[in-house]
Amino acid sequence: MSGEPTEVKSDVSDDEIARLAEEFESCAVEKFGHVEHLTVALWYLARLPEAEARERVRAGLRRLSALDNDGRYSETMTIFWLRAVAAFLRDAEPDLTPAELRERLVARFPAARVVFEYYSPELLNSHEAKTAWVEPDLKTLDF
């Protein structure tokens, strides 16, 4: 995976991760970029059955998008990242703390543009990709 590294906050605590998940649930997040997306997905996928975690993250992202009235929610992008995080967790050492998992996850996927290794911008920005899962058009998913 390529991607320009971003700063990884290695001193984030498990409590801070839990607090972000609570803020996500209540739509009270102030900043919700790539790292926060990964962190929330990790939080849910590490604690809930995958199907339930997927639904909770999807619902929360839709609520945030509606609150911001930005129309940026993308089903394909959401599922892509949930699948990536789920695969990461399956391969992770079982005794890592949430903070350690988060640090390694962000190091593995430091930039959101990783998705463009798999999807052309045209497909990813299409109405179909925003409203339903679509398979990648550039490269088969390897997770």
Q: Hey, what amino acid is at 18?
A: A
Flag whether pLDDT at 5 surpasses 50. no
d(CA 108, CA 3): 9
**pLDDT grade for 22, boundaries at 50, 70 and 90:** very high
Specify the pTM. 0.88
User: Residue 131: its pLDDT value, please?
Assistant: 95
d(CA 102, CA 39): 6
Flag whether pLDDT at 3 surpasses 60. no
| CA 77 from centre of chain | 8
Flag whether pLDDT at 104 surpasses 90. yes
For range 20-34, the mean pLDDT: 94
b or e along 20-55 (b: 16 or more beta carbons within 10 Å of the residue's beta carbon)? bbebbeeeebeebebbbbbbbbbbbbbeeeeeebbe
